[in-house]
Chain A
Amino acid sequence: MAYVALADREQELSHPHSFLTKYIWSQDHKVIAIQYGLTAIAVGVVALILSVMMRLQLGFPDTFSLIHPSEYYQFVTMHGMIMVIYLLTALFLGGFGNYLIPLMVGARDMVFPYLNMLSYWFYLVSVIILMSSFFVTGGPTGAGWTLYPPQAIMQGTPGADAGIILMLVSLAVFIIAFTMGGLNYVTTVLQARTRGMTLMRMPLSVWGIFTATVLGLLAFPALLVSAIMMAFDKILGTSFFMPAIISLGEQTEYMGGSPVLFQHLFWFFGHPEVYIVALPAFGIVSDLLSTHARKNIFGYRMMVWAIVGIGGLSFIVWAHHMYVSGMNPYFGFFFATTTLIIAVPTAIKVYNWVLTLWQGDIHLTVPMLFAIAFIFTFIHGGLTGIFLGNVVVDLPLSDTYFVIAHFHMVMGVSPILVVFGAIYHWYPKMTGRMYNERLGQAHFWMTFLGTYSIYLPMHYLGFLGVPRRYYAYEGIEFIPQSAIELNAAITIAAIIVALTQIIFFVNMTWSLFKGKKADPNPWGSASLEWQTPDTPPIHGNWGPELPTVYRWAYDYSVPGADKDFISQDTAPSDTAPETNT
């Protein structure tokens, strides 16, 4: 099946024959995407369970004797790291990136399919290494997901022996996996777009994933560098980050290192990471809103520029995570300014989403509900971000539940709502079946209202000054009884939300076998992935010839057209009603 791609004159697709090469050692981007997705969701469930354990301790402190302080910190650490990196990054880029990029730009596969396969297997290895740290002496690291030295590698921190080493190794392997995948996503967008698919005709999902991948490729090295240097400090006894310090009453060999250096390196990765997760969500949600409101996305060019602008700005805001680290106060002024500037393109995107809905023909399908809910949670989390971006407001709030509430709204709940919306949206294409609408609606409402009842009260706890990272609050005088009771209520909401996800898994699994057969294009979507000859698309995606693209991806409700959308591969002469009937 040799074919002519625009980039390389000729490229051979692999020919899978056995079950093993077709579904396990597969080089097909769609299979790899699903492997990535399932692994990420599986590890995400682990992180979800960990968060419930944390909430049980916080809500009912004396009831669960099996959760000790050290386990609590291990749960915190693993929950954070898994959710941010092994779930969200892997799912958006490895999962949706893999599935959508070739289909949306009209390619048969990624440009380096073998590398793509390796990427998944390296990712799986990194997950296995991470999970194995639950089973070593001392357990996983409890250093907090930011792994700040010196405590991350000092005796007394849970998992300071094997746990932290496994964490650093796992991160390094993950970064290698991500780099292999990322090279594919970027190069595929650059090289393998089909005829007529200019950059400005790409759906915003591709723009979001593409830009996020570029950010990831440039920012993950910062995590790699800090992980390598910390591993040297831990294993070989160098002093990159470790100051002269006394441990367990004895002077250690360390001297002169700088913990703040680690924070700079970590957050130089850490802040772009926020956008690595957010930009794909921005892109996908734009497509969901436009499709289900039967209206072109408002301000497409602005949306693209905003994505690209946010990408550039995201590298100069990192130190707003470090206002309390004791760095030069003038830096705080600079980083507060850049942080507020980055709110401008972000706000443009929010306005454009709302204006896309304005006078649209809104279909309240499950994906649409999730997309609209995202606008709520994202505005909410974004506004509290403006609070925290200012140094004077951040200083008192930094160590409280306000921060937990802020970043869970903006970086936890918002992207996860998009993940769910995207899964429901593309489920018919991926599986060829429709999901159960009622279960989907139930899942949406319980998740949306449930997460709100978890995180909204946390803002209030933050204003009260309830400190985060604490295992228990007994004997702290300024925390009123009502806050303790609120914590119990939050825990109950968290348990309900966690259990609600069972509905999702039941729906997905049941529909896979018993769901109604799906239409090839059930939403009437104009973008290319819905125009494949087969549903689900077969290996190679397109028939004997690659599609040609004649228009952008948002021709919805065009006056005079015979349908309420014109797909991207419809030639100009076919759009007039008389020629098409």
Chain B
Amino acid sequence: MIAVLIFMTAAVAISYWWLWNQKIMEEPWLTEGAEVDLREQTGIVPKSAKSGLIVFLAVVSSIFSLFISAYFMRMSLNDWLPIEEPQLLWGNTAVLLFCSMAIHWTARAANKGSNTGVRNGLLATGLFTSLFLIGQLLAWQELVEQGQYLQSNPAAAFFYLITGLHAAHLLGGMWVWLKTTLRVLAGQNAQQTILSVELCRNYWHYLLAVWLVLFVLFLST
């Protein structure tokens, strides 16, 4: 349970740090008036959707760190046979990196107000993401050809399960991508897509980070 405990420690530490900054030491019975509100002093008011996404990503992180914990604990038992990861995963990792770059570039285009930039960026993101998902399917295919089925060995089972879960999260992101892209193709201008595109950007970067962790995990075990 080490992996999930590390994650939980980080999550709890960040929460406490945030609470500390919210004047949790204040004695509320002594203060009167509305001016004590921090948000008025700093003027920093993030968008609800962005805060919501951060909370959601904490939930997803919890899921992945639990799987990683389970992976390590199951690995220590004696019927674990390490599998040979398909070399294709290196290529897929590169493609996922391109996804992140494309969506990052899209967000910059949206903030600059470039309509064509947003359109092209979104299309590139969709293309690379689809490529990645197809690549993952091919990697599965390769494992099947090696004779590594879901039931054959816990290492293979975990590989299918965890990569499948990661792909499922990307597919969920593709839903938002699809809605945004359809709006852009229907003629919405760049200014109006900033929020959606930035949410996609954060989500894609996050899933890239998760993939890198998972990739290192698979390669090293």
Residues of A that sit less than 8 Å from B by CB: 6-8, 111-112, 179, 182-183, 186-187, 190-192, 195-201, 214, 217-219, 221-222, 224-225, 228-229, 232, 236-240, 253, 255-258, 261, 264-265, 268, 296, 300-301, 304-305, 308, 311-312, 315-316, 548-552, 554-555, 571-572
**17 other contacts beyond A196-B34, A301-B28, with CB at 8 A cut-off?**
A182-B59, A183-B56, A191-B48, A192-B48, A217-B59, A221-B66, A225-B67, A225-B70, A237-B151, A239-B154, A257-B77, A258-B73, A300-B28, A301-B27, A550-B33, A551-B28, A555-B29
**Using Cβ atoms and an 8 Å threshold, which residues of chain B touch A221?**
59, 62-63, 66
Pairs A–B under 8 Å by Cβ, sample size 14 = A7-B45, A112-B48, A191-B46, A196-B34, A199-B24, A219-B62, A221-B66, A237-B151, A256-B77, A296-B29, A301-B25, A308-B19, A316-B5, A552-B29
A581 to B90, CA, bound (A): 77
**Using Cβ atoms and an 8 Å threshold, which residues of chain B touch A219?**
62
**Using Cβ atoms and an 8 Å threshold, which residues of chain B touch A222?**
4, 62, 66
Stretch with Cβ within 8 A of A (4 or more), from B36-44, B111-119, B209-217: B36-44
Stretch with Cβ within 8 A of A (4 or more), from B9-17, B100-108, B135-143, B200-208: B9-17
A219 to B5, CA, bound (A): 12
A200 to B23, CA, bound (A): 8
A192 to B52, CA, bound (A): 12
Number of A-B residue pairs having CB atoms within 8 Å of each other in the complex: 164
Closest to A199 in B: B22
**A197-B37 contact given A7-B48, A258-B73, A552-B28, CB 8 Å threshold:** yes
**A198-B26 contact given A228-B161, A238-B157, A255-B79, CB 8 Å threshold:** yes
B1 pairs with A264, CB closer than 8 A: yes
Closest to B13 in A: A312
B52 pairs with A238, CB closer than 8 A: no
**Using Cβ atoms and an 8 Å threshold, which residues of chain B touch A304?**
24
A218 pairs with B78, CB closer than 8 A: no
B206 to A: closest C-beta gap in Å: 15
A200 pairs with B52, CB closer than 8 A: no
> Among the interface residues B11, B28, B67, B151, which one has the most CB atoms of the partner chain A within 10 A?
B28
**Using Cβ atoms and an 8 Å threshold, which residues of chain B touch A301?**
24-25, 27-28
Chain B contact residues, majority secondary structure:
helix
**Residue from B28, B35, B39, B79 in contact with A256 in the complex, judged by beta carbons closer than 8 Å:** B79
Interface residues on B, range: 35 or more
A179 pairs with B59, CB closer than 8 A: yes
Any chain A CB within 8 A of the CB of B124?
A: no
> Among the interface residues B4, B23, B29, B45, which one has the most CB atoms of the partner chain A within 10 A?
B29
Any chain A CB within 8 A of the CB of B47?
A: yes
**Using Cβ atoms and an 8 Å threshold, which residues of chain A touch B24?**
199-200, 301, 304-305, 308
Any chain A CB within 8 A of the CB of B150?
A: yes
**A232-B161 contact given A198-B26, A201-B28, A225-B66, CB 8 Å threshold:** yes
**Residue from B29, B33, B48 in contact with A572 in the complex, judged by beta carbons closer than 8 Å:** B33
A549 pairs with B34, CB closer than 8 A: yes
**Using Cβ atoms and an 8 Å threshold, which residues of chain B touch A225?**
63, 66-67, 70
**A198-B161 contact given A187-B48, A224-B63, CB 8 Å threshold:** no
A551 to B23, CA, bound (A): 15
B62 to A: closest C-beta gap in Å: 4
A305 to B19, CA, bound (A): 10
A301 to B25, CA, bound (A): 7
What are the 8 A-B residue pairs with the smallest beta carbon separation, nearest first? Answer: A256-B79, A196-B34, A552-B28, A221-B63, A221-B62, A111-B48, A200-B28, A238-B157
B1 to A: closest C-beta gap in Å: 6
> Among the interface residues A6, A187, A300, A301, which one has the most CB atoms of the partner chain B within 10 A?
A187
**Using Cβ atoms and an 8 Å threshold, which residues of chain B touch A191?**
45-46, 48, 51
B123 to A: closest C-beta gap in Å: 28
A227 to B: closest C-beta gap in Å: 12
B9 to A: closest C-beta gap in Å: 9
B158 to A: closest C-beta gap in Å: 8
Residues of B that sit less than 8 Å from A by CB: 1, 4-5, 8, 11-12, 15-16, 19, 22-29, 31-40, 45-49, 51-52, 55-56, 58-59, 62-63, 66-67, 69-70, 73-74, 77-80, 150-151, 154, 157, 161
**Using Cβ atoms and an 8 Å threshold, which residues of chain A touch B16?**
308, 312
A187 to B5, CA, bound (A): 24
Closest to A236 in B: B150
B58 pairs with A217, CB closer than 8 A: yes
B151 pairs with A238, CB closer than 8 A: yes
**Using Cβ atoms and an 8 Å threshold, which residues of chain B touch A305?**
24
B221 to A: closest C-beta gap in Å: 16
**Residue from B33, B45, B58, B74 in contact with A218 in the complex, judged by beta carbons closer than 8 Å:** B58
Closest to A218 in B: B62
**Using Cβ atoms and an 8 Å threshold, which residues of chain B touch A186?**
55
Closest to B19 in A: A308
A551 pairs with B73, CB closer than 8 A: no
**Using Cβ atoms and an 8 Å threshold, which residues of chain A touch B58?**
217-218
A525 to B17, CA, bound (A): 32
B23 pairs with A300, CB closer than 8 A: no
**Using Cβ atoms and an 8 Å threshold, which residues of chain A touch B56?**
179, 183
A347 to B38, CA, bound (A): 32
A264 pairs with B151, CB closer than 8 A: no
Closest to B78 in A: A256
A232 pairs with B157, CB closer than 8 A: yes
**Using Cβ atoms and an 8 Å threshold, which residues of chain A touch B40?**
195
B166 to A: closest C-beta gap in Å: 14
> Among the interface residues B15, B55, B69, B77, which one has the most CB atoms of the partner chain A within 10 A?
B55
**Using Cβ atoms and an 8 Å threshold, which residues of chain A touch B11?**
218
Closest to B36 in A: A198
B47 pairs with A8, CB closer than 8 A: yes
B34 pairs with A199, CB closer than 8 A: no
B23 pairs with A199, CB closer than 8 A: yes
A198 pairs with B47, CB closer than 8 A: no
A258 to B75, CA, bound (A): 10
A551 pairs with B55, CB closer than 8 A: no
A197 to B38, CA, bound (A): 10
**Using Cβ atoms and an 8 Å threshold, which residues of chain B touch A232?**
150, 157, 161
A339 to B63, CA, bound (A): 25
A550 to B32, CA, bound (A): 5
A255 to B79, CA, bound (A): 8
A548 pairs with B34, CB closer than 8 A: yes
B8 pairs with A315, CB closer than 8 A: yes
A265 pairs with B12, CB closer than 8 A: no
Closest to A237 in B: B151
A304 to B62, CA, bound (A): 25
A261 pairs with B151, CB closer than 8 A: no
B77 pairs with A198, CB closer than 8 A: no
**A550-B34 contact given A7-B47, A232-B157, A239-B154, CB 8 Å threshold:** yes
A224 to B48, CA, bound (A): 26
A299 to B154, CA, bound (A): 52
